[in-house]
Structure 1
C-alpha cells in the first residue's frame, strides 16, 4: 500500500511537472523569452498562485522551444531519479511544489539558450547592417505607444504609388526583427524601408536605429503601455525619444502635436520637426466638410473621402500624407492612394460572426487609448446589443486602475457591456456592466449563448485562434 501511494504521488508530480513545462515554455515564448516581461505577467496574474492555475498551452514548434524543452526534461528526469529513493514527505513536497519546480527548470533552459539566441541575433543584425551599407535605401522609423502598425501600413501603401518600398513584417519591431525584415524584404530596387520600432526598456530603440539609420521618423503617440517595464513615464518618454535623436540634422521628424510631453521630446533635437494634429491647428492639420476631409500642409491641400474604416485611424494618416508630400508626391497621387487604403484585418475590421452577429476586430494588441477609440465604431453600430471583449491590458503598472476606470466610464456612457478575464475590471465595476470569467474558454461559451443578429461584438486585444474561430466561423469581411 505504501509503495502504491508513493507511486501515485510521484506520478502525479511528474504529470503536473510535464504539463507545466509545456505551459511555461509557451508563456516565455509569448513574452519573447524576457524575464522582465514574464515577471510582470506573474505579478499581474496573482504571483506564484498563477503557476498553479490550470491553463493548458502548447508552445510553437521552434528550435529554441525544443532546446528549452530538452533541457527542462533532462533536469526533471534527474530530479525523478533522485525522488525514487526519497522519503514520502519529500515526495509529497515534490508534488505540492511541482509547478514552481517546473518554472525553475524552464528558467534554466531559457537562460542557457539565451547564449545561443544572442549569438544568432548578433549575426543577423550584422548581416543586415552590412547589407544596407551597399544599398541606397532611405530609412523611415515609426514609434509610439500605439498606432505604429497602422501608420506603417498606410505609409507603405501611399508611398508605393510612386516609390519602391519595403517594410518590417508583422510583429517584427525589435532590432533583430527589423534586421530579419531587411534581409527578407529589401531588394536592389528598394528606395525606402519603413520600420516599426518598439521597445520595452531604454536603449532598445537606439539599437534598432543602428540597423535602419532613419532619415525620417514618425512618433505617433505616448501612452502608458509597458509602463511597468520602463518603471516611470519619464523613462518611457526618453525611450521613445531615442528614435528622434537618431535622425540626422538634415532629416525630418513628424511628431503628434497632441502629445502632452512634447517639450521633453523636442528638447535638444536639432532636426526639423513637423507637428501634426487631427484636433487642432498644426503644421499638418485636417478639417471635415460633409463626407470629405481636407488636409493642409504648407501650400498643399489633399482631399479625400471618408471610408468606413478610416475615421478612427485618421490621426495615423496625417504624418503619412505629410511625408509623402515632402518626398515629392503630388496631391493627386496621394488622393488616388487614399481611395484604395487597405482594410487591416486586425485594425477595426468587421466580419460576419456566428448567428449573424457583427464582429469588430481590434486584435493586434491593446492599449488604453486604442481601447477607447475602438469603442466608437462599436457604439455607432445599428445593433441594439453591444459587447466589448477584453482579456485586459498588460504592463500598465501603477496606472492600471486609473486607466481601467476611464474605460469603464466610457463603457457605461455608451451602454456597452464588457466580457473579460481580468478580475481588476470586475473589482472596479460599480455600474454592473462587467461579466468576469476565469478563462477564455468559459468566456467564449457564455458569449456564444448570448449573441445573435442584433449583437455587435468588439474583440479588443489578442485572443487565441480557436477563440476567434468560434465567433467567426465564416470570417468574411463586410
Structure 2
C-alpha cells in the first residue's frame, strides 16, 4: 500500500508508521492496519491499539492521547476524502453499478467475467453506502486494474456523493423499481436519485436496461429483449442448472436461473466487450460465476432443496423470484414461503396484495406467508389458497415431515427467512 502511505503522510503532514491494511471494525484489526473509529468507534480505539494498529483516525471527542491516534472533526468525512484521493492516484478503471434490483448479482457476474483478463476487486457483501464504498476502495492495491463498485442509496444526493468519491469510468443501471419508496415516495424520484450517476460517466460507457419504462429514453448502451435495444436478448432456454440464451445472436450459458439473470449477465457481456474481452473469455467468466449468498442460492438438505433468495425483496424482485421458481423444471413438489417487503411507504399493503394476487395464479405451488404486511394483504383477499404462518417454528414444523420438495424463501432482509432452513 505504498500509494496510500504516501497520501497519508502528505495529507496529515507528518511522519507515520507504515499502514498495511484498513479496517472500520476494531475486532478485525491486525498489526499494521489503519483503523477508522466511526459511529462510536472511539470506544474501540484502545482495542485497536492492542491489536497492533499502526494508525487510528478518531474524532475530537476521544480522550486517548497516543502518537498513533489522529483526531479529526468528522471521521466519516475523512474516510471519504482519503478514499477519494486514494482511488484518484491509482491506475484503475472504476465501474459504478446502481439500480433498484440486481445490483449485487450484476456486480458478481461482471467481476467473474472481467477477472478472466484483469486483476479486479468488487464490493463485498452490502458495503455499498457512504461508509461501505470508501472502505471497499481501500481494499484496492497498486497492481489492481478494475474496481467494480455497487452504489446503493435511500435518498437524493447519496449516489452523487458516491460518484464524487469513486469517479466511475463506466456505469450500469439495472432498473428502476419500488425499493426505498418509504423515503422517495414514487418511482420518478427513484429514477432521479439513481441517475445522479450519469453526469459522471460518458454516455458511450453507460449500460442501461433498455426495456425499463424510465430508462429507455436515456442515452447509453441499451440491453434488453425489445428490438430497439443495442444488445438484444433472445432464444432463452431454462434448465434446472441454469439458462442458455443469445445476445445479438451470440450464444451464452450461465449457471443461474431466471430470465432476469440473462439480463444481469448481458450487462457483464457488454462490459467485457467494452474492456476488450473476447467471446471465449466472457463465456469462461460466465461459467465461473460465484454469487453472493442468498441470491436464489440452492441449498441441498437430504430430500429437500431450499432456494434461499431471502437477502432482500421488492415487488419487482419478488415477482422475478416467483417466476423463476415456477419455471424450474423439476418433478419435486414446490412450496413458497414469502415474507414482508420493507421500505415501500404508504402503499405497502397494496404492493403486498398485488404479490398475493400474483401467487393465486400459480398452479401446483403451495404458498405460505409471514409478516404483518403480508397478513394485512391476505385479510383483504380472504382466500384459503394462501396460508399465513405467524412464527418460524410453525414453518419448520410444516417442512420437517415433507420429502422430495423444493422450497422458495423470499422476503426482505429484516424477515430473516433463511432461519427456517433445517
Give the TM interval when normalised to the shorter protein: 0.7 to 0.9
Counterpart CA distance in 2 for 1:466 and 1:205 is: 27
Tell me, yes or no, if structure 1 residue 412 matches structure 2 residue 356: no
Please give the per-residue CA displacement for 1:364-399, whole angstroms capped at 9, x wherever unaligned.
Answer: 211111111111343235355432223300111244
Output aligned runs, 1:255-334, within 5 Å.
Answer: 255-262=208-215, 266=218, 273-288=220-235, 292-296=244-248, 302-307=250-255, 309=257, 311-334=259-282
User: How many angstroms does 1:466 deviate by?
Assistant: 8.7
User: How many angstroms does 1:360 deviate by?
Assistant: 0.4
Counterpart CA distance in 1 for 2:228 and 2:121 is: 32
User: What is aligned with 2:409?
Assistant: 459
User: What is aligned with 2:184?
Assistant: 230
C-alpha spacing 1:466/1:208, structure 2 compared with 1 (3 Å): closer
Tell me, yes or no, if structure 1 residue 433 matches structure 2 residue 385: yes
Tell me, yes or no, if structure 1 residue 359 matches structure 2 residue 309: no
Bigger Rg, structure 1 or 2: 1
User: How many angstroms does 1:168 deviate by?
Assistant: 1.2
Counterpart CA distance in 2 for 1:134 and 1:144 is: 28
Tell me, yes or no, if structure 1 residue 119 matches structure 2 residue 74: yes
**Conserved? CA contact 2:179–2:344, under 8 Å:** yes
Aligned to 2:193, which of 219, 231, 239?
Answer: 239
C-alpha spacing 1:332/1:118, structure 2 compared with 1 (3 Å): farther
User: How many angstroms does 1:230 deviate by?
Assistant: 1.0
User: What is aligned with 2:85?
Assistant: 130
Task: Give the strand-richer structure, 1 or 2.
Answer: 2
Aligned to 1:388, which of 336, 345, 355?
Answer: 336
Counterpart CA distance in 2 for 1:363 and 1:276 is: 27
SS of 2:131's partner is helix
User: What is aligned with 2:290?
Assistant: 342
SS of 2:169's partner is strand
| Aligned-residue CA RMSD (Å) | 3.0
C-alpha spacing 1:227/1:63, structure 2 compared with 1 (3 Å): closer
Aligned residues: 350
SS of 2:74's partner is helix
Counterpart CA distance in 2 for 1:118 and 1:443 is: 51
Output aligned runs, 1:32-71, within 5 Å.
Answer: 64=40
User: How many angstroms does 1:292 deviate by?
Assistant: 4.0
C-alpha spacing 1:230/1:165, structure 2 compared with 1 (3 Å): same
C-alpha spacing 1:433/1:243, structure 2 compared with 1 (3 Å): farther
Counterpart CA distance in 2 for 1:402 and 1:141 is: 33
User: What is aligned with 2:162?
Assistant: 208
Please give the per-residue CA displacement for 1:216-271, whole angstroms capped at 9, x wherever unaligned.
Answer: 1111011111111112322211101101122146x5111111111236x73xxxxx
Counterpart CA distance in 1 for 2:309 and 2:325 is: 11
**Conserved? CA contact 2:170–2:201, under 8 Å:** yes
Tell me, yes or no, if structure 1 residue 189 matches structure 2 residue 143: yes
**Conserved? CA contact 2:99–2:176, under 8 Å:** yes
User: What is aligned with 1:424?
Assistant: 376
C-alpha spacing 1:231/1:406, structure 2 compared with 1 (3 Å): closer
User: What is aligned with 1:220?
Assistant: 174
C-alpha spacing 1:248/1:295, structure 2 compared with 1 (3 Å): closer
User: How many angstroms does 1:467 deviate by?
Assistant: 6.2
**Conserved? CA contact 2:337–2:408, under 8 Å:** yes
Task: Give the helix-richer structure, 1 or 2.
Answer: 1
Please give the per-residue CA displacement for 1:333-377, whole angstroms capped at 9, x wherever unaligned.
Answer: 112222222254311121123x62221011221111111111134
Tell me, yes or no, if structure 1 residue 447 matches structure 2 residue 398: yes
With normalisation by structure 1, the TM-score equals 0.67
User: What is aligned with 1:81?
Assistant: none
User: How many angstroms does 1:324 deviate by?
Assistant: 0.9
SS of 1:123's partner is helix
Please give the per-residue CA displacement for 1:24-48, whole angstroms capped at 9, x wherever unaligned.
Answer: xxxxxxxxxxxxxxxxxxxxxxxxx
**Conserved? CA contact 2:206–2:221, under 8 Å:** yes
Structure 2: gaps spanning 5 or more residues: 1-37, 44-60, 63-70, 238-242
With normalisation by structure 2, the TM-score equals 0.75
Structure 1: gaps spanning 5 or more residues: 1-61, 68-111, 267-271, 473-478
Counterpart CA distance in 2 for 1:306 and 1:128 is: 35
User: How many angstroms does 1:405 deviate by?
Assistant: 2.9
